[in-house]
Amino acid sequence: GMFSFMPGTFSGTGTVNTRLFLTGGTAGEGNYRWHYLAVPSQQDKSVLTNINPNDLMWYSEPAAVTDMWQGWQWHDGFDGTTSITSLLPTEGYSFYNDADTYVTFTGNTLLTSLPQKNLSFTHFGWNFIGNSLTCGINWDAVVLSGDMDPSVNFLKDYQEYYYIQGGPGVPAGTTGSIPPLQGFFVQANAPGASIDFSAAKEHNGTTYYKGSKENAESKSKYPLIRISLDNDKLTDQTVIWFNENATTGKDSKYDAEKWIPDDPRLQICSSLQGRKYAINGIQFPEESVEIPLAIRTTESGKHTIRMAGMENVEGFTFYLKDLELKTRTSLKENTKYSFSASNGIIDNRFVIVIGNSSAQKNTESVSGKPFNIYSSFGILNIELQSDAWEGKTGSVKVIDLTGRTLTDSRNIEFSRSSLIQLPMGNKKGLFIVEITSSSLKHSGRVIVK
Other residues' Cβ atoms within 10 Å of the Cβ of residue 350: 23
Give the pLDDT confidence score for residue 79 in this predicted structure: 95
Give the pLDDT confidence score for residue 44 in this predicted structure: 98
d(CA 146, CA 141): 16
* pLDDT band (50, 70, 90) for residue 238: very high
Other residues' Cβ atoms within 10 Å of the Cβ of residue 449: 13
Give the pLDDT confidence score for residue 26 in this predicted structure: 81
Alpha carbons within 13 angstroms on the beta-carbon side of residue 135 total 17
The residues facing 161 across adjacent strands are 154
Give the pLDDT confidence score for residue 5 in this predicted structure: 76
d(CA 328, CA 322): 6
Q: In what order do the strands lie in the sheet with 429-437?
A: 405-413, 393-399, 429-437, 440-448
* pLDDT band (50, 70, 90) for residue 204: low
Least-confidence region, from 265-274, 312-321, 376-385: 376-385
pLDDT digits over 27-45, tens only? 766 678 899 999 999 999 9
Give the pLDDT confidence score for residue 3 in this predicted structure: 66
pLDDT digits over 87-98, tens only? 999 999 999 999
pLDDT digits over 136-187, tens only? 999 999 999 999 999 999 887 677 899 999 899 999 989 888 989 999 999 9
pLDDT digits over 416-443, tens only? 888 898 998 888 888 899 999 988 999 9
- Beta strands 275-282 and 235-242 are parallel
Q: Among 20, 197, 2, which Cα is nearest to 111's?
A: 197
DSSP 383-399: EE--GGGTT-EEEEEEE
Q: Print the SS3 string covering 212-268.
A: CHHHCCCCCCCCEEEEEEECCCCEEEEEEEECCCCCCCCCCCCCEECCCCCCCCCEE
d(CA 413, CA 407): 17
* pLDDT band (50, 70, 90) for residue 214: very low
**Whether residue 384 has pLDDT greater than 80:** yes
Other residues' Cβ atoms within 10 Å of the Cβ of residue 71: 24
Cis peptide bond upstream of 171, omega within 30: yes
Give the pLDDT confidence score for residue 9 in this predicted structure: 66
Domain ranges for the chain: 16-215, 224-357, 362-448
Contact 382, 373 (CB under 8 A): yes
Q: Which pTM does this prediction carry? A: 0.75
For residue 255, CA distances in Å to 98, 188, 191 come to 35, 14, 21
* pLDDT band (50, 70, 90) for residue 2: low
Q: Name the helix (H) or strand (E) containing 49.
A: helix 46-49
**Whether residue 265 has pLDDT greater than 50:** yes
Give the pLDDT confidence score for residue 360 in this predicted structure: 41
d(CA 65, CA 68): 7
Q: Please return the burial class of 273, using the count of CB atoms within 10 Å of its CB with bins 0-12, 13-18 and 19+.
A: exposed
Look at the chain and count its residues: 449
Other residues' Cβ atoms within 10 Å of the Cβ of residue 233: 12
Report the pLDDT averaged over residues 330-347: 92
Alpha carbon distance, N-terminus to C-terminus of the chain: 46
Give the pLDDT confidence score for residue 208 in this predicted structure: 41
**Whether residue 293 has pLDDT greater than 70:** yes
**Whether residue 350 has pLDDT greater than 90:** yes
Instruction: Please work out, in degrees rounded to the nearest 5, the angle formed at the alpha carbon of residue 422 by the alpha carbons of 418 and 427.
Output: 155
Cis peptide bond upstream of 223, omega within 30: no
d(CA 271, CA 296): 13
d(CA 115, CA 119): 12
* pLDDT band (50, 70, 90) for residue 309: very high
Q: In what order do the strands lie in the sheet with 117-118?
A: 117-118, 194-196, 143-145
**Whether residue 236 has pLDDT greater than 70:** yes
Report the pLDDT averaged over residues 122-148: 95
Domain 362-448 coded CATH 2.60.40.3080 = yes
3-class DSSP assignment, residue 188: strand
Report the pLDDT averaged over residues 405-419: 90
Contact 240, 271 (CB under 8 A): no
Give the pLDDT confidence score for residue 282 in this predicted structure: 93
The whole-chain average pLDDT of the chain stands at 88
